[in-house]
A and B are shown apart, each in its own frame.
Chain A
Amino acid sequence: QVQLVESGGGVVQPGGSLRLSCAASGFTFSSYGMHWVRQAPGKGLEWVAFIRYDGSDKYYADSVKGRFTISRDNSKNTLYLQMNSLRAEDTAVYYCAKERSSTMDYWGQGTLVTVSS
């Protein structure tokens, strides 16, 4: 069965950096695009970034463009999100999700990122 397991969350100071990972199993990872989606405490869902199956295209929400970088290692079945210049408003649960026809059909359990001094 499809499994997505995020890791790497934690507490970081404003201006700091963090790298999230998402380990995928149960499907052919190298054949699917992948997303990061976040949810601030008590708020709705916000799409963050997308990467094509082969890493050839990457798209970002305006709120993170220039600060976050999505990448993948298909040999390790792992998705990454490098987050730099973190702000308080980046505090959220970050989910990775598998892409299917412009939707997100499988999601991980999420990892909490807290930006606070």
Chain B
Amino acid sequence: DIQMTQSPSSLSASVGDRVTITCRASQSISRYLNWYQQKPGKAPKLLIYAASTLQSGVPSRFTGGGSGTDFTLTISSLQSEDLATYYCQQSDSLPLTFGPGTKVDIK
């Protein structure tokens, strides 16, 4: 199974800050990497697929990058509504696996 790790596990930042979350796969997954946002008490929401393609309707302040084993999710200017846990997920091979999540708090 492909193991996914994320760092940091949590962060606290101010509105307007640039925030970067890192996701690492235990083996190369090309660009088969998706990012989800889960707000407290809500279902996950797809933000980015194929490492860097923004899902329709997602604000452009979210960007994804990387390939192979190392990936990033960047929020260019953090907004209060971005308070959530962010998960990466590999879709290269079964079983599909998620990272442990990064909780983003607003200072």
Q: Do A and B come from one complex?
A: no
Residues of B within 8 A of A (CB): none
Residues of A within 8 A of B (CB): none
